[in-house]
Amino acid sequence: MNSKNASAAARDIFAKAGPVVALIIMCVILSVANKNFLTSANLLNVSRQMTINGFLSLGMMVCILTAGIDLSVGFTMTLSSVVMAICAVKLGWNPYLSLFIGVVTGMFLGLVNGLLLTKCKLPHPFISTMATQNIYKGIALVATGATPIASIPPAIKWAGANFVSSDPSTFLGKVPVCFVMMIVAYLAFSIFLNYTILGRHIYAVGGNMSAARLSGVNVDYVRTMVYVISGFTAAIGGIILTGRTNAAYPLSGMLMENDAIAAVIIGGTSFFGGKGNTLGTFSGVVLITVLRNGLNLLNVTSDLQTIVIGAVILIAVFIDVVRSGGFAKVKRLAKEFAKEIE
């Protein structure tokens, strides 16, 4: 009985730390395969490259925790960055005001998604956010005349383009601002999800919506708020993107939702809601970024990269199935399979 408990505990730890373990293994392989992987220049690249998806994935995770999904994250990001750039560049408004408007835009677009779901009673967020994805994309194209808006003021670019310290010889001079923002955001979301009422309600709604409703949880409010949160994180992603490319361009959000969903799922969040945490999503985000970076360093073409990422998603979801023991048969098969491997 005792050893059974111990192995169950070990399985539990693996379940929680699974993505982290996979990440470490991958880093080891990469640093052996390419000597430039573990250089500060490359780690700097990785830390910067993960931030946009990092923010989109945070919002996506919150939606998926309620058994929802936000397919519009990519173009919510695009549209809020476009609105921000129009205010700052074309209208010449104060850059800080423009930043604020960009964030509010993102939250508004998220609110639209949420209200479509809860007030218009659209059957599934897959439908409503797929529709708004197209609408937001179209608006972004129309608003920009399909041309990128360049010459972004430094105050807006700061988040995406600058380092914490302006002195490149110091350590802080090598740390991108956006990476620090992302770490802070993940810590904040971890606290938000675990130690606030709304945070716990998000898990309850995803875990069992009717039980939550009958427990007096305002389910509609929770389900609306998660899309507002997703819009908020997408807008932050948009600010970083604008800084990184010195431009707001209308197709920047193309397929961005794919990597966000992938990161969340790889991070162990259940697609059926109620289970998942920020550490997992963080590992998922890092894993995808490191994977792409490593494959770039090894000059693997993007076609192959796509296959690898697809495979990683499959493996991650398979682990999720086994872990949740959704149906005993899969579990049994996996056990037999694992035995054969050993």
Partner 1 sequence: MKLSRIFSLCLAASLLTGAPAAAADAGKDITVIVMALNSDYWHMVEAGAKLAGQDLGYNVNVIGPNAETDAIGQANMVEDAAANKVAAIVLAPNDPVALIPAVGNAKAAGVPVVVIDMALTTQDESLYESFIGTDNYEAGGMAAGYLIKKLPSGCEVAIIRGIVGSSNHDGRCNGASDAFKAAGVKVVSIQPADSERGKAVTVAENVLQTNPGIKAIYCTNDEMALGAYQAVANIQKQKDILVMGFDGSFGALDSIEAGELTASLAQMPIDMGYSGVKAAVDFLAGKKLEKRIKSATVIVDKANLAKFKADIKEKLSKAN
Partner 2 sequence: MNRAADGEADAPLLEMRDITKIFPGVTALDRVNLTVKRGEIHVLLGENGAGKSTLIKTIVGINRPEGGDIWWQGDKIGVATVQEAYDLGIAVIYQELNNIPCLSVVENLYLGKEKKRNGVFIDWREARRCARIALGRVGLENLDVDLPMEKLGMGHRQLIEIARAVDHDAKFIIMDEPTSSLSRGEIDSLLNLMTRLNGMGIAILFITHKLDEARKVGHVVTVLRDGRNSGPTQDISRVSEDDIIRLMVGRTIEEKYPKRVSGIGDELFRCENLCASKFDDISFGVRRGELFGIFGLVGAGRTEVARGIFGADPLLAGRIFVEGREIRVRAPRDAIDSGIVLITENRKEEGLVLMHSVVENVTIVTLRQFVKGPLLSNSSRRGKVRELGERLRLRPLHPEKNVADFSGGNQQKIVVMKWLLSGAKVFIFDEPTKGVDVGAKVEIYAIMNQLLAEGAAIVMISSEIPEILGMSDRVMTMYEGIQSAVFANDGTLTQERILTMATGGKTGE
Using CB under 8 A as the criterion, which residues of the chain lie in contact with partner 1 when the complex forms? 10, 14, 18, 21-22, 25-26, 29-30, 33-34, 36, 39, 41-42, 44-45, 48-49, 52, 144-148, 150, 161, 241, 244-247, 249-252, 254-255, 291-304, 306-308, 311-312, 315, 318-319, 322, 338, 341-342
Q: Residue 234 to residues 33, 137, 221: CA-CA distances in angstroms?
A: 34, 14, 20
Q: How far is the CB of 250 from partner 1 (least distance, A)?
A: 8
User: What is the C-alpha separation between 201 and 135, in angstroms, rounded?
Assistant: 30
Instruction: Give the one entry of partner 2, partner 1, none that residue 29 binds, where binding means its C-beta sits below a cut-off of 5 to 8 angstroms depending on kind.
Output: partner 1
Q: How far is the CB of 342 from partner 1 (least distance, A)?
A: 6
Backbone torsions φ then ψ of 176, nearest 5 degrees: -65, 145
User: What is the C-alpha separation between 326 and 307, in angstroms, rounded?
Assistant: 26
The candidate with the shortest Cα–Cα distance to 99, out of 135, 146, 53, 152, is: 152
Instruction: Give the one entry of partner 1, partner 2, none that residue 288 binds, where binding means its C-beta sits below a cut-off of 5 to 8 angstroms depending on kind.
Output: none
Q: How far is the CB of 314 from partner 1 (least distance, A)?
A: 9
CA angle 310, 180, 228 (to 5 degrees): 65
User: What is the C-alpha separation between 83 and 129, in angstroms, rounded?
Assistant: 19
Q: At 267, which amino acid appears? A: G
Q: Which residues bind partner 2 (CB under 8 A)?
A: 191, 194-197, 200-201, 203-204, 207-208, 210-218, 274-275, 324, 328
Instruction: Give the one entry of partner 1, partner 2, none that residue 293 binds, where binding means its C-beta sits below a cut-off of 5 to 8 angstroms depending on kind.
Output: partner 1
Q: How far is the CB of 192 from partner 2 (least distance, A)?
A: 9
Q: Which is nearer to partner 2, 134 or 194 (CB)?
A: 194
Q: What is the CA radius of gyration of the chain?
A: 21
